[in-house]
Amino acid sequence: MLTQVASLLKHLVVRFRQHTGGSIAPIAALSLIPIMTAVGAAVDYSRANNFKSGMQTALDAAVLAGARDDTSNWKQVALNMFSANLAAQAKSGSAASPSFTQESAAVYKGTASGSVPTSVLGIINMKHIAVAARSTAMASEADNSCILTLDHGQPLSHVSLSLNGAPIINLSGCSIRSNTSLDCQGHDGNVTKGIAAGAAVDCGKPKSNALPVPDVYKALASNITTQCGSYRPGVTWTPGAPPSGTGVKTVSVGGRTEYHICGDLNLSGSGTFSPGADTVIVIENGSLNIADKAAATIKRTAVVLTGNNSYPSSINFPTGNGKSASLTLSPPLDVDDPWQGVALFLDPKLTNNVDNKWGPGASFSADGLVYLGNSNVVTDGNTSSSNAKCSKFVMNSFITNGSVNLDFNQTVASCAAIGLKQWGGIIVRLVK
C-alpha cells in the first residue's frame, strides 16, 4: 500500500513538472515536495519506532535472562532470548547481532542496532532509518550471609560493616554482607565472601556493587501482641522454671504460650532457662540484661523486644575488667509457629535507645535469626552460631573491636530444618 502511495505521488510530481499551461502548476508541484516528505517522515518513522520498541523489549529480556543464568554461558543464553523475541519484528526491519558485556560481577549490559527500510522517504534518497537499543541489568546471587547490615537511609559509600582490631573470623558456608559498604580490614576468614551494595574493601573474595537485599524479616512484626501497657516493674529470671512474678503476663495466642515481660528482663545465674518448647517471650518497654558471670541458655524460644520508644530496648552484657557473661539462644521449631526459626527479634518500630555494645567478656551464640534491624552493634566480645549450623545476624550496622571471635556455620539443609526464611534465588532487575 505504502509503495503504491509513493509511486502515485512521484507520478503526480512528474505530471505537474511537465504541465506548463499555467503559472500555478510549478508552484503547486514544488509545494508537494515538503508535503510528501512530511507524510513520508510520519509513516516511516512510525514504523521505525515500532521496530525499535520491539528490539528494546527483546534486548531487555536478553540481558535479564543472561543475568539470571549467571554462568560462563550467559552471553549465549542472552543471544538466544534476543533472537526468539525479535522474530516477531523481522518483517519490519532487521537487526545486527547484539553485543553483550559484563561490566562487573553484578552488572550485565547489552547493545543492539538495526535498520528499517523506508517506503516513502526513498523519494528523497533516504532508503533506511537506523535504530539502536541499550539495556543494563543488575543481579545479586542467592544470599547465604551470616551477618547482614541494612544501613537504613545511608548512601552506598557509607561503611556499615567494619572488622576492626584483630578479629578471628571463621565462617563456614556463609558470607558477610552490607546493603551499603563494608571494610574487612584484611580479616575475612578462610571461605568468607564480602558482599556489598557499595564497596567491599580489604575482603577476600570481595563482591562490590551487588544489589541490596530486601528486608524479608520486617513483616514478622505483625505477629507481635502486647499486654503490659505502661506497667513495667521488670522481672528477674533464674534457671529452671518459666519467668514469674508481678511483671509477667502469661497468655495463649494461637495455641502457643507467650510470656509478656513488663519492663526489663534480667537473667541471673547459669543454666537452662525453661519457659517450655516453642514459646515466645515478649519484652515490653524494656531490655534483656545478662548478669555478671551468668551463663544463660534459652531453648526453642523466640525473644521479642517491643514497646513505645520511651525506654531502652537492647541486649546488655556486663562490662568492665573481669566481668563476663554468655547468652545462648535457639528458636522455636514448630512449623505452625509464626516465630519458627527466630531466636531474637527487635520490633522495627523501635528506633530509640536500641543500639548495642557487647563485651569485652561477652559471648553471644544463637541459631536461627537474630534481627536487630535498627540497632547499631559494636562488639568487643565473641559472637557465633550455636549448634544447628544456621545463623543470620541482621543489624543496621556492625563493628568489631579487639580480638573478638566471629564463628558462624551455615548449611542450606540446616536452615531448612529450623524453618529459617532466607533470601532465595538470583535477584535481577533492569536499571537505567
What residue ranges do the domains of the chain occupy?
2-140, 145-425
Rounded distance between C-alpha atoms, residue 181 and residue 403, angstroms? 22
Rounded distance between C-alpha atoms, residue 288 and residue 187, angstroms? 30
What pLDDT, on a 0 to 100 scale, did the predictor assign at position 1?
44
What pLDDT, on a 0 to 100 scale, did the predictor assign at position 262?
98
DSSP secondary structure string for all residues of 199-246 = -EES-SSEE-SPPPPP-TTGGGGGG-----TT----EEE-TTS---ST
What pLDDT, on a 0 to 100 scale, did the predictor assign at position 220?
95
| 352 DSSP 8-state letter | S
Average pLDDT over residues 202-211: 85
State whether residue 302 is helix, strand or coil. Answer: strand
Rounded distance between C-alpha atoms, residue 406 and residue 327, angstroms? 15
What pLDDT, on a 0 to 100 scale, did the predictor assign at position 145?
86
Quick check: 23 pLDDT over 60?
no
Give residue 39's pLDDT band: very low, low, confident or very high (50, 70, 90): low
pTM (2 d.p.): 0.71
Contact 29, 20 (CB under 8 A): no
What pLDDT, on a 0 to 100 scale, did the predictor assign at position 5?
45
Among the ranges given (39-53, 193-207, 258-272, 291-305), the one the predictor scored with the smallest mean pLDDT:
39-53
The three cell numbers of residue 253 are: 495466642
Contact 245, 265 (CB under 8 A): no
Quick check: 3 pLDDT over 70?
no
The per-residue pLDDT of the chain, averaged, comes to 85
The contacts of residue 8 (CB under 8 Å, 6+ apart) are none
Rounded distance between C-alpha atoms, residue 268 and residue 285, angstroms? 20
Pairing relation of β-strands 405-409 and 368-379? unpaired
Among the ranges given (121-125, 191-195, 200-204), the one the predictor scored with the smallest mean pLDDT:
121-125
Rounded distance between C-alpha atoms, residue 175 and residue 188, angstroms? 9
Give residue 2's pLDDT band: very low, low, confident or very high (50, 70, 90): very low
Name residue, grid cell 541471673: 268
Contact 57, 64 (CB under 8 A): no
Longest Cα separation, the chain: 117
What pLDDT, on a 0 to 100 scale, did the predictor assign at position 373?
96
Rounded distance between C-alpha atoms, residue 50 and residue 61, angstroms? 17
Q: For residue 367, how many C-alpha atoms fall within 13 Å in the half-sphere facing its CB?
A: 24
* Amino acid code (one letter) for 78: A
The contacts of residue 86 (CB under 8 Å, 6+ apart) are 54, 55, 58, 95
Name residue, grid cell 516477531: 88
The model's pLDDT over 313-350, given as tens digits with 9 standing for 90+, comes to 999 999 878 899 999 999 999 988 999 999 999 999 99
Q: At what angle do helices 24-69 and 2-18 cross, to 10 degrees?
A: 160
Average pLDDT over residues 272-299: 94
Percent over 90 (pLDDT), the chain: 50
Average pLDDT over residues 237-252: 93
Give residue 143's pLDDT band: very low, low, confident or very high (50, 70, 90): low
The model's pLDDT over 83-118, given as tens digits with 9 standing for 90+, comes to 998 887 666 788 889 999 998 767 899 999 999 888
Give residue 189's pLDDT band: very low, low, confident or very high (50, 70, 90): low
